[in-house]
Every structure is written in structure tokens, then in C-alpha cells.
Amino acid sequence: MTLADPPTERLSVRLRTGTRPDHDAAQGSGFLDRLAAGSLPRAAYADLATQHFAIYETLEQAAGAMAGDPVAGRFVFPELTRLPALAADLDYLNAGTTEPLPATEEYRRRLREVAFTQPWGFVAHHYTRYLGDLSGGQYLGPAIAKAYGLDGAGHQFFVFDGVKPPAFRTRYRELLDEASFSPEDETLFLAEVTEAYRLNIAVLAELKERWS
């Protein structure tokens, strides 16, 4: 194969393979596993929910803006919406006045730049959050609930009513493979997923710093 040949692997496969190092850096950032082990105070978990609230508020506004777009709109699923669950979790956790971190504000700035108008930008950020929530999040949620004695309330963020995660992930990958990105936009999409991981890692690093 030469550089001029079109790629033969499906986009979902190239995406997953190409961003595995980014994923592993996010997974290994040292905050989420400490939460899962219960070795941080419960307020640290509430702080994560606060950062998530700020991020999903902007991401889900972008979903509203992109719902009618022929490419991005296919990824807008009302049943994924996380903001009401996060609001309920924060209410239950009595999260107090924790503010969005600088890295969270940077993440929101990037979302405003690319996710409200660019299908590649929206899908990149949508994939990185929601497919992560429907993958590792399905292990993390129960571990955190157990570690902090949460029984039903307080961890609704991890619970997707009406969604079967394995089937949903399969359908989502099909949607990625069917997405009609131009070659230029596909390159931008792949780069933006790496950027989305970087932004998530930065938030986790600041959380780790605040709670270590």
C-alpha cells in the first residue's frame, strides 16, 4: 500500500488502535483508580462529578446545536444525556461550592471551538466521552458506588437507562464506519480524539493534584 491508497481498515478500528496509547494514558492517570479503590475522600468523587457537570453541560449544548446536521446528528441520542443524572448526583452528594478547574474550562473552550459547528469536532468529543462511559465507566461506576457506600443515588452518571452498553457500542462503531467524513475531515476527527483524551487527562491530573 502507498500513501495514496485509501485506508483499508474500518474507521472504528483505526480509531481504536490509533488512540490506544491515549486511552492507556487516561486510564493510568492515577485519579480514577484511586477513586475506584476508595482511597480518596468522598468529596474528591463529588469534585469529579462537578467537573463532569461542566463538561457535559457544554457537550450536550453542542448536541442540541448539531442535532439537525446530516453527519453529526446521527450521533445525537437523547438516552445518552448525562446532565440530569449529574445534577441529581451533585444534589445527593451535597457537593458544595467546588468550581470547575482550569483544565475543565480549557476543555469547554475547545468544545465551543469545534463541537458546535464541525461534525468531526462534535463526533470526536462525543465518542471520547460517551463510548468511554459505556465501556470503562461501566466498571468504574459500580466500583465507586461500592467504595463510597452509594446505593442507587449519587452515581446515576454511570447508569444509562434504556441502553444496553455492549449492543450500543456495536451500533456506535457501525455509525462511525458509516460516517461520511471527507478524507480531510477524517484526519481532523482522528486528531481531535487525541486532543479530547489530552483534555480529559489534564482534568484528571488537576483533580489528582488537588486531592493528593
Helix intervals (H) in 94-182? 102-114, 119-126, 132-133, 137-147, 165-178
Nearest to 73 by CA among 170, 169, 175, 157: 175
Is 23 a binding residue for ligand HEM by CB under 6 A? The answer is yes
Distance CA 56, CA 204 (A): 15
Nearest to 155 by CA among 143, 167, 169: 143
Is 104 a binding residue for ligand HEM by CB under 6 A? The answer is no
Distance CA 207, CA 133 (A): 18
Q: Which is nearer to ligand HEM, 168 or 197 (CB)?
A: 197
One character per residue 125-144, x = contact with ligand HEM (rule: CB under 6 A)? --xxx-xx--xx--xx----
Is 10 a binding residue for ligand HEM by CB under 6 A? The answer is no
Distance CA 16, CA 164 (A): 20
Q: Which of 10, 14, 25, 27 binds ligand HEM (CB under 6 A)?
A: 27
Q: Which is nearer to ligand HEM, 5 or 79 (CB)?
A: 79
Smallest separation, CB 16 to ligand HEM (Å): 4
Binding site for ligand HEM (CB under 6 A): 15-16, 23, 26-27, 32-33, 127-129, 131-132, 135-136, 139-140, 197, 200
